[in-house]
Amino acid sequence: FAFIKEEWEEVCIGEEGEELELKEETDAFMDTEDDQENMDFKPEPSESPVLEANPQIRNGDIVIVQLDSPSHESSHSCETCGKQFIQRGHLTIHMRTHTGERLFTCEVCEKSFITNSNLKAHMRTHTGEKPFNCKVCPKSFLTRSEMKIHLRTHTGEKPFLCKVCERRFTTSSALNVHIRTHTGERPFLCEVCQKGFLTSSEMKIHLRTHTGERPFSCKLCEKSFTTRTVLNVHIRTHTGERPFSCEVCSKIFTTSNALKIHMISHTGERPFSCIVCGKSFIRSSHLTAHLRTHTGEKPFSCEICERSFTTSSHLNVHLRSHTGEKPFSCELCQKSFLTCAELKVHFRTHTGEKPFTCKVCEKSFTTSSCLKVHMRTHTHEKPFTCTLCEKSFSRSSSLKIHMKNHVGGEIFSGKE
């Protein structure tokens, strides 16, 4: 039980991190809508006889009108992926996503970009300039398109619809990534282990598990992280900030995804079901981890003792048993714990809180696992069976004690 909450929190962080990294990926491969209209690209005279003969119609809007004619002779298609563009210049820039060509380099950090407008937007990360302000809240942005996308958080607008499941998204890039969950496409492969990912940003973050790179450091405790988003969430452990509040019960959370998962506790929705046993889960990642209990897969191994685990979070907690690290301390008695979840359970010994109540006898417990064990006293379920004598027990710990009493295949005299 102690591990479950930590894994859940890691999933939350991962989800929110993907949402932010996705925006960066979109900026890296395509110009913003507004920048597209003002590209620093001029078609060569030989590319368009109409433009060559009529330089006065080089205006972008007039060219678009010309392209809307029934002939569509001036549309341009990518020979690699079939995507179509209304201007050859846009096609030329798009082709760089296939070739990897990045012509525009930042003089400060040497990062390269596909378009000059992307470079200009990037330069603002060095200058701190955020010239586009939200009219509703004080937040400001590097680009006009970022500001437009942000405005949808105020209006609730989600203009991009998935035709498969009818789920809506605020950006076309988010929709494109979502569609891959239906097709199973994972086009970004890790060069080291060949694992596939939905987005290039996911793959880049994954690569850090091979390189050990943790480029984002906390200035307060010097702890390092693989993504800026995880760092930002971590900083809230120092500031105590919990900016996301539940409208139903007013409970507050450090991340928006933690709030989203919490909201399911009010609706009771568990949309992800196991095809083997029918068990359902709140998150797809929880289902993925559960499926490993059927397959026996344990892909995360400890380099010290070679013990394997079904999730990376379980491995991370296990590693603390080697280092002796117990980073979560009780404010009242200073007792330390391996996980945040263990600390929360411990804290109930001070508050007396017992949030898990039996519906049969109304007895309350500090953890859901304790309630599950208690429920077996009502159902008489004994899921743990001895392989030697087939005796069954309601607790795994009782079975372990019983197994010690076997000597040479016979039950040793004595009480369980």
The contacts of residue 40 (CB under 8 Å, 6+ apart) are 115, 116, 117
Give the residue-averaged pLDDT of 165-192: 91
Give the residue-averaged pLDDT of 374-398: 90
* Alpha-carbon separation of residue 180 from 97, 160, 173, 200, 285 (angstroms): 18, 15, 11, 13, 16
Task: Please state, in angstroms and rounded to a whole number, the distance separating the CA atoms of residues 359 and 345.
Answer: 21
- Predicted local confidence at residue 408, as pLDDT: 56
| Contact by Cβ (8 Å): 163, 153 | no
**In terms of DSSP bridges, do strands 196-197 and 216-217 run parallel, antiparallel, or are they unpaired?**
unpaired
Q: Which residue has the higher pLDDT, 136 or 43?
A: 136
Is the per-residue pLDDT at 240 higher than 60? Answer: yes
Q: How does the average pLDDT of the chain come out, rounded?
A: 79
Among 6-10, 143-147, 296-300, the range scoring the smallest mean pLDDT is 6-10
Is the per-residue pLDDT at 39 higher than 90? Answer: no
Is the per-residue pLDDT at 27 higher than 80? Answer: no
- Please give the class, per CATH, of domain 356-399: alpha beta
SS3 133: strand
Give the residue-averaged pLDDT of 49-63: 37
- Predicted local confidence at residue 67, as pLDDT: 36
The residue type found at 393 is F
Is the per-residue pLDDT at 340 higher than 60? Answer: yes
